[in-house]
Amino acid sequence: MAGLELLSDQGYRLDGRKASELRKVQARMGVFAQADGSAYLEQGNTKALAVVYGPHEIRGSRSRALHDRAVINCQYSMATFSTAERKRRPHGDRKSTEMSLHLKQTFEAAVMTQLYPRSQIDIYVKILQSDGGNYSVCVNAATLAVIDAGIPMRDYVCACTVGFVDETPLADLCYAEESGGVSSLALALLPRGGQIALLQMDARLHQDHLETLIEAAMTACKGVSKVLDEVVRQHLQEVSVLTGE
Amino acid sequence: MMEVCGSSNVTLREFGCEQSLLSRPDGSASFIQGDTSVMAGVYGPAEVKVSKEIYDRATLEVLIQPKVGLPSVRERSQEQCVRETCEASLLLSLHPRSSLTLILQVLHDDGSLLSCFLNAACMALMDAGLPMSCLFCGVTCAIDADGQIITDPTAAQEKQSRALMTFAIDSTEHRVMMSSTKGSFSVYELQQCIAVSQKASEKIFQFYRDSVRRRYSKTL
Amino acid sequence: MKDTPLCNCERDFLLKAIEEKKRLDGRQTYDYRKIKITFGTDYGCCFVDLGKTRVMAQVSCELVAPKDNRPNEGIMFFNVELSPMASPAFEQGRQSELSVKLNRQLERCLRNSKCIDTESLCVVSGEKVWQIRVDVHMLNHDGNLMDAVSIAAITALCHFRRPDVGIQGDEVTVYSPEERDPIPLSIYHMPISVSFSFFQEGTYLLVDPCEREERVMDGLLMIAMNKHREICSIQSSGGIMLLKEQVMRCSKIASVKVSEITELINKALENDKKARKAGGRCGFAESMPQERITALKKDKTAVEMTDVSERANEIVQKAEALPQTVPSPVVPVPGVGQVGQGPQNTWGLDEEEDEEDSDEEQEEQVTKMEEEHSENKEESRGGEVVEISDSEEEEVVILHPEKPDRTPKNTGSTSHQKVAASSKKRTKK
C-alpha cells in the first residue's frame, strides 16, 4: 500500500473524512425475536451482529459459577465472507480467542453482574463485513444488544479505534488505514465517568504522543455514545408506540 | 573374541547437579553431564483425576518437554523408559489414590540425553522426599566403528557410533532396571557394556551421596 | 493437578498490606525484583530469572517458503509453553486462557512493533526465507510471567546467530558454523514489557506483582516500550476501569524501568560476548552457582575397568554353552526366519511360522521386564543352564545375509545400522 496518502495536505483522508470525523453509524436493535437481546450495527463498511442470551442458569460445569456475580461468556467470530480473502478458520484461532477475552473483560467491567449471582450471560458477536475497527464495532453492537436484553449496565460502553499519522490523530480507522502500518489504539470507554474499560495499542508510538491519542480516542467514543443513545431512545419510542403506551 | 575396551575411552564427563532450584515444584533438580543439561521438577503426592486414579498405588506421570517444538513420539518413548524405571524404585503403594508428576525439561542436548533424564529424575525425587526402595542412575554406552566402548558419549560421538545403549542401574545391587538400545551389537558387547555401566554407576552413586551429604551438612 | 486455592484471610492480609503500602517481600511500590540473565551453550538460548520466576527462551531458524502476500519477508514464529513444571495449575497440551494471552501479547509486542528486520531474512525472494522460531518455556511461575517472557525473548533474539548463506546464481549454500561465522539478526530496537497490577478498584498500583499479589489483583496493565521511549504495545486486561491520568503515570514509570532493564540486558550480552571470545566454556553448566550448598560439581573421571572384561567373559562363556543346542535358523521365504520348531500349530494351516520377534530385535529396543533380564544374568553367574534363546531381549538376530530388504524400522537417525548382521553366535564357534 505504498504511495497512498493517509492524510492529504488539506486534511482529508482516503475516504474524504476529516481527521476527527467518525464514519456513519447505523444501528438497529431487536433484530432477532428468539434471543433475549440483539442488535445490528454498521460503522462505515464494517458490519457486526450481536446477540445476547441471559441471564440464565450456568450451562455446563457448575464449578464455573461465581457465588456473588454472573459469569459473562463472550464469543467473537468472523464470517468467512467478511474479509477480502475467504477466512479459512473463523473461530478457534488465537486472534479470535484473544478478541473474545477482550470483549469479556470489557463487559465484565460495565455490566452490573452483582445483581445476578450464580448465573451466566452469553454475548455472541459476529462480524459480517470487516473494514477496520473490528473490536470497536463489536463492542458498540454488543452494548446495544445488552441494552436490548434489559440487563442493567453502569453506562454505555463505546469503543473507537484511532490512529496516529503526521502528528495528527485519525479517529475511526478503516481497513486501508489500519494495514498501512499506522499505530492504532483501540479504546473502550464508559463516557459519563471517563473510565477506560479496555486499552489496546500496537505498533510504535512515541510516549509524548500518547496523551493526545488517548484524548482523541475519548472524544471519538463520546461521539459514538451520543449516536448509540439516539438509537436506543428511538427504538424505545417505536416499541412503546407498538405496545400502545 | 573381542578385545577389551581401551580404558582411555571409558570416562565420564564432568557432571554437576543442583537441587531445590525452583520454588513451585515439591522437588526439583538440574543435572548436567558435560554440556547436556536437564531440569526436573516433581509434584506430589497430590490430588489425582478420578479417571486416572489407582486404588492401591500412586499414579506416576512423566512429561518430557523438548527444547524446540512440541513433544513428539520420541519424547513419548523416552517418557515410557523413565516412568518404568521410577515405578520400579518408588514405593507407590504408600500413597494410594494420589498422583506424582515428574516433568523433565531439556536445557541442552549434547548426547547421553536419556541417562541425563534418569539422573535428574532420581535427584528430583530425592529432593521431593518421596520414599524409594533404591536409587537409580542412567549410564549411556556407545560402541564406535572400531569396536571401542565409550561411556557418556557426546552428540558427535553418538552420531558416529554403531550402537548406543542406555541402562538404568539400581543402587542396592547394581542390577539393570531398564535398558534402551539402538543399533547392532553382539552378546559379548552387550555384556561388556552392562559391566562397564555397572562400574560407572558406582561413581554416579558416590556423587549422589556426596551432593546429599553436602546439602545436609549444616543440619546433620 | 489443581492449584491450592487462596484462602480469604490470606487475601485480606495481602489487600490490607497493600493499602498500607507494604509488600510481602519488602519491596517498594515501583520496585522490580532482581533480574538475572544467563545464556546457554549455543547461540540463542537464554535463561531469565525475575525473582523466583524462571523462564527459558530458545531461538532456532529454518529455511522455508515465504507467505504469499509477503514474498520478500522472513517469518517470525513465537511459541510460549506453559510447562507443567512452572505451576501445578498448568496442564500439558491444553491451551488455557493465560497461554493464549501470553502468546498474543508476545506476538504483538515483538512482531507488530517490527523490532526485527524481516526483509534481511529473505534469501531468495518468493522461494526461500528464514523462519525464526522463538520457543519460550516457563520453568517456575512466581508472578509476572509476561515481563519475564518478553525479556527472555528479546535477549535470546539479540544473542542468536543464524548461519551464513551464499548465493551464486541459482544455487544457495548454507554454511555451517565451522565454515563461516554465523551472523546476528538485525534488530532495530528492544521492546520490553512492564506490568502494573491494580487493586481495590484501581486505587492502588504495584509494579511487577509476585504470584500471591497476582491472585488478589483486579487487573493488569501491560506497557511494552523500548529505550527510545516509544511505546510498542499497551494492553489492559482483567476488567479494571482506568483513568487517563493513571495510564499516563504508568507510561512514565515504564519508561524508567525499561531503560534500566535494557541496560541490564546489554551488559549481560557484553559479558557473554567477552566470555565466548576468551574461549571459555559457557552455558548453563558454567552458570551454575558453585558456592551453594545445594549444588555440587565433579570433574571428568575415568572409570575403573579392572575386572570388566573378566566379568563379561564369564557371563558370555556361561551363556555360550547353550548355543550348540540352538539349531540354525530356517529361512523358508524372504523376510521370514524360523528358529526352532515352535509349539504345535493349532490353526490347521500350513506349518510355516513367522518369527516376527526376530524382526523386532533389530529395532530400537525398550525392554521393560528387566527383572526377568537381570534374573537371567543372576542365573548365568550361578552357573545354571540359562534359556537365553527363549528370551526376547537377546539381541541375537539370525538373518540370512543375502536378504537386505529387512531394514530395521528405527526411529533414530543413526545411519550405521547394518542389517547384514550375521549370527554372532556362529562366528564365535
pLDDT digits (tens, 9 = 90+) for B53-102: 999 999 999 999 999 888 999 999 999 999 999 999 999 999 999 999 99
The CATH class that applies to domain A25-243 reads alpha beta
- Weakest mean pLDDT among C55-59, C203-207, C275-279: C275-279
Q: How many residues are given for chain C?
A: 429
Q: What is the pLDDT of residue C367?
A: 41
Record: contact A197-C241, CB cut-off 8 A: yes
C-beta atoms of B22 and C295 within 8 A: no
Name the CA dihedral angle for C375, C377, C383, C384, rounded to a multiple of 10 degrees. Answer: 40
- Residue of C4, C45, C85, C398 best to disrupt the B interface, most CBs of B under 10 A: C85
Element (H, E) at A50: strand A46-57
Least confident of B71-85, C202-216, C269-283, C338-352: C338-352
Amino acid at B78: Q
**For residue range C190-204, what is the model confidence (pLDDT) as tens digits?**
999 999 999 988 889
Interface test with B, best of C282, C305, C415 (most B CBs within 10 A): C305
Give A215's contacts (C-beta < 8 A, 6+ positions apart). Answer: A169, C244
The beta-strand segments (E) located in C42-110 are 45-50, 53-64, 75-81
Instruction: Check whether C418 has a pLDDT greater than 80.
Output: no
Neighbours of B143 (CB within 10 A): 26
Q: Does residue B20 belong to any structural domain of this protein? A: yes
How confident is the model at residue C318, as a pLDDT?
67
How confident is the prediction for chain C on average, in pLDDT? Answer: 77
Structural domain includes residue B30: yes
Q: Give the domain range for residue B151.
A: 15-214
pLDDT given at position C380 = 37
Cell of A167: 502528528
Lowest mean per-residue pLDDT among A143-157, C56-70, C314-328: C314-328
Residue labelled with grid coordinates 473494514: A131
- Residue extents of the structural domains in chain C: 30-276
Average pLDDT of span A172-177: 87
For residue C282, what pLDDT is reported?
65
* Helical residues (DSSP H) of C279-392, grouped into ranges: 284-287, 308-320, 356-360, 370-382
Q: Which residues pair with A28 in a beta bridge?
A: A40
Residue B8 lies in a domain: no
Longest CA pairwise span in chain C (Å): 91
Angle between helical axes of A94-110 and C97-107 (0-180°, round to 10): 110
Lowest-pLDDT range of A166-175, A219-228, C144-153:
A166-175
Q: Does C225 touch chain A (CB under 8 A)?
A: yes
The ipTM is 0.88
Q: Which residue of C has its CA nearest to B176?
A: C374
Class of domain C30-276: alpha beta
* pLDDT tens profile B145-196: 888 888 899 999 999 999 999 999 999 999 999 999 999 888 888 888 898 8
Residues B107, C284: Cα–Cα separation, whole Å: 8
Confidence category of residue C414, pLDDT binned at 50, 70, 90: very low
**Closest chain B CA to residue C410:** B182
Between these two residues, C378 and C29, which has the higher pLDDT value?
C29
Chain A residues 151-190 with CB within 8 Å of chain C? 185, 190
pLDDT at C235: 92
Using pLDDT thresholds of 50, 70 and 90, give the confidence band for residue C284: low
> CA B170 to CA B198: how far, in whole Å?
9
Report the percent of chain C where pLDDT is more than 90: 34
B141: enclosing H helix or E strand: strand B136-144
C424 falls in which pLDDT band (50, 70, 90)? very low
Task: Summarize pLDDT for A200-216 with one digit per residue, the tens.
Answer: 988 788 888 889 999 99
Q: What percent of chain B has a predicted confidence (pLDDT) above 90?
A: 67
CB C35 within 8 A of CB C261: yes
Contact B77 C87 (CB under 8 A): no
* pLDDT at B31 exceeding the cut of 50: yes
Res. C360: pLDDT tops 60: no
Query: What cell numbers appear for B212 in the block?
Result: 546429599
Q: For residue C422, is pLDDT > 60?
A: no
pLDDT for residue C389: 46
Of C295, C312, C425, the CB nearest to B191: C312
Tell me how far apart the alpha carbons of residues C31 and C25 are, in angstroms, rounded to a whole number.
Answer: 11
Element (H, E) at B8: none
| CATH number of B184's domain | 3.30.230.70
Contact assessment for residue C422 and residue C329, using Cβ atoms and an 8 Å cutoff: no
Give A144 or C171, the one with higher predicted confidence.
A144
Q: Which residues of A183-211 are buried (b: 16+ CB within 10 A; e: fewer)?
A: bbbbbbbbbeeebbbbbbbbbbbebeebe
